[in-house]
């Protein structure tokens, strides 16, 4: 695969590469990715104001990405020494710890492989590129921002969450969708499918081609089976139940009381 391949597209296999990062000197992308989703993003340069705010924003949402099985990794065309000094500066001055790796791409090899250098913007710095890559190492989404506009990291998290939902529920997501809202049911392709879709009462129908369904945990959870408790007689042990084939056991006789003795006559005075 040529390093001058140009801009990767949605559906392409993400190029593999080896590099030096702030966490590994022998980093290999596919080995590091394992079976996770990845957000690979580039920034123009270390020790720049907008890039610093972006790294802090990514670090603040890193746990939410991690909970979704997503790994973050950044890149710029600076040296590993510049990266280390910058991360230390962010920690000491801004109070933020950057726990995800940063690629030192001083020779621009990875940046060219992913089409991050846009000559009309800058020939010496990467634009603000974002690649969302699934566990099969397929590029699922691309975002490009200019040098002078910082990224919306909340939107990147929302986009990853939406892609994961479409895979899990075989659906699409409507405009401005956020986790917990209804998703779009795939449109029908035949008259029969349209009739079947309209017959589904659990859908919110807008028209024959547009229906929404609830995929929230409460809506997709299986109903809990309720076990009706047995009656006291059914629950009693066999030995305690009366056997109709056997005669009733004789009842114990009541204790006989002694007859009262007549009182002795009292002598007259």
Residue tagged active-site, from 14, 20, 39, 51: 51
Tell me, yes or no, if 171 is annotated catalytic: no
Handedness of CA 45, 48, 52, 54 (dihedral sign): negative
Task: Give the Å distances, CA to CA, from 137 to 11, 33, 37, 159, 220.
Answer: 10, 8, 8, 17, 29
Q: How far, in Å, CA of 22 to CA of 55, rounded?
A: 14
| Helix H or strand E segment including 263 | none
- How many residues does this entry show for the chain? 269
Q: How far, in Å, CA of 111 to CA of 77, rounded?
A: 8
Count Cβ neighbours within 10 Å for each residue of 215-254 and write b for 16 or more, e otherwise.
beeeeeeeeeeeeeeeeeeeeeeeeeeeeeeeeeeeeeee
Q: Would you state the structure tokens that stand for residue 3, as one six-digit string?
A: 């390093």
Active site (catalytic) residues: 51
């Amino acid at each position: 695969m040529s390093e001058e391949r140009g801009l990767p597209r949605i559906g392409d296999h993400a190029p593999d590469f080896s590099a030096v990062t702030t966490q590994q000197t022998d980093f290999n992308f596919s080995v590091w990715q394992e079976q996770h989703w990845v957000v690979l993003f580039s920034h123009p340069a270390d020790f720049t104001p907008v890039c610093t705010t972006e790294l802090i924003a990514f670090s603040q949402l890193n746990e939410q990405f991690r909970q979704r099985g997503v790994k973050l990794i950044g890149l710029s065309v600076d040296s590993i020494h510049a990266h280390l000094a910058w991360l230390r500066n962010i920690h000491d001055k801004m109070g933020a710890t950057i726990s995800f790796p940063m690629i030192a791409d001083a020779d621009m090899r990875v940046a060219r492989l992913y089409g991050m250098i846009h000559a009309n913007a800058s020939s010496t710095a990467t634009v603000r590129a974002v690649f969302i890559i699934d566990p099969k190492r397929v590029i699922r989404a691309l975002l490009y921002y200019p040098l002078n506009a910082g990224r919306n990291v909340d939107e990147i998290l929302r986009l990853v969450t939406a892609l994961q939902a479409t895979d899990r529920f075989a659906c699409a997501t409507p405009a401005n969708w956020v986790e917990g809202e209804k998703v779009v049911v795939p449109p029908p392709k035949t008259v029969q499918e349209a009739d079947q879709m309209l017959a589904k009462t659990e859908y919110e129908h807008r028209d024959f081609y547009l229906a929404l369904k609830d995929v929230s945990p409460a809506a997709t959870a299986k109903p809990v089976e309720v076990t009706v408790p047995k009656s006291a007689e059914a629950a009693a042990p066999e030995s305690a139940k009366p056997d109709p084939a056997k005669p009733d056991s004789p009842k114990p006789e009541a204790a006989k009381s002694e007859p009262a003795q007549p009182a002795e006559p009292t002598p007259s005075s």
